[in-house]
């Protein structure tokens, strides 16, 4: 797939996997629309990327996609900038940690809005133009948490299961459209994700953001609907398909237990 001179919108670009996507795409001369809550972080990233590729156009938009209606507002801002989005990386996401009964109802609602609703809305807002042009790329960042229920992170696991199911269905629907769609499923990754939960867990075997994005970039010209980053994560995800449900729940609960 030709990437040079295309325009990519990346959500959650303020750090981690989103920032790595921005860096790798900029090196391939892809113009960028970077989206995150922290405008100052986006401005810093833009300055860094322009030093590497001064010929690339980079716009930054501060947006909180956990707020209802924010996806539509974002699309309107992109249109006002005059950008046509050829590549959509739905990376923004958040997760809570702990028993559901102790979690905030409002925070869970915001988590579902960010991880699911805004992702689906942004896909719906930008996919039609891609199919009309018969070219485009959509990468929805799911997780290995999508392959099984996740006691201790019940809502997070459920949101990623939706992302995986939605994206695989979309892959089938768009196979002959010229648009490449796939779900990227990283396991535990060294990002701010864990710090935001306030607890340490899954500290062994974490990948770097670069490893995850390298996996995604290598999959762009392939045809699979789901891309799992790391052989260990592939083994674990495959194992859950044949594990008895009660045992699977016990094992997955241990995986996310605080240390």
- 240 noted as active-site residue: no
* Catalytic-role residue among 21, 147, 156, 193: 156
Three-state secondary structure of the chain? CCCCCCEEEEECCCCHHHHHHHHHHHHCCCEEEEEECCHHHHHHHHHHHHHHCCCCCEEEEECCCCCCCHHHHHHHHHHHHCCCCCEEEECCCCCCCCCHHHCCHHHHHHHHHHHHHHHHHHHHHHHHHHHHHCCEEEEEECCHHHHCCCCCCHHHHHHHHHHHHHHHHHHHHHCCCCEEEEEEECCCECCCHHHHHCCCCCCCCCECHHHHHHHHHHCCCCCCCEEECCHHHHHHHHHHCCCCHHHHHHHHHHHCCCC
Q: What angle do CA 226, 10, 25 make, to 5 degrees?
A: 85
**Pick from 61, 63, 53, 1: nearest CA to 31:** 53
- Active-site residues: which are they? 156
């Amino acid at each position: 797939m030709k990437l040079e001179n295309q325009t990519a919108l990346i959500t959650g670009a303020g750090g981690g996997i989103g920032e790595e996507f921005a860096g790798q795409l900029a090196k391939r001369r892809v113009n960028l629309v970077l989206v995150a809550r922290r405008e100052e972080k986006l401005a810093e990233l833009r300055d860094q990327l322009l030093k590497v590729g001064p010929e690339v156009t980079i716009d930054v938009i501060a947006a909180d996609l956990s707020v209802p209606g924010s996806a539509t507002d974002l699309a309107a801002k992109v249109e006002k900038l005059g950008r046509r989005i050829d590549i959509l990386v739905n990376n923004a996401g958040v997760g809570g940690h702990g028993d559901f009964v102790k979690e905030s109802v409002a925070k869970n609602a915001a988590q579902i809005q960010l991880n699911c609703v805004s992702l689906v809305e942004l896909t719906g807002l930008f996919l039609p133009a891609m199919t009309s042009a018969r070219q485009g790329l959509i990468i929805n960042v799911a997780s290995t948490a999508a392959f099984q229920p996740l006691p201790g992170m019940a809502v997070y696991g459920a949101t990623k299961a939706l992302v995986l199911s939605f994206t695989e269905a979309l892959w089938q629907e768009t196979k002959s459209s010229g648009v490449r769609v796939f779900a990227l499923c990283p396991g535990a990754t060294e990002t701010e994700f864990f710090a935001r939960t306030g607890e340490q867990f899954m500290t062994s075997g974490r990948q770097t953001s670069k490893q995850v994005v390298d996996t995604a970039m290598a999959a762009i010209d392939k045809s699979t609907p789901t891309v799992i980053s790391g052989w260990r994560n592939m083994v674990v995800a495959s194992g859950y398909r044949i594990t008895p449900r009660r045992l699977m729940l016990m094992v997955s609960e241990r995986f996310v237990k605080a240390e």
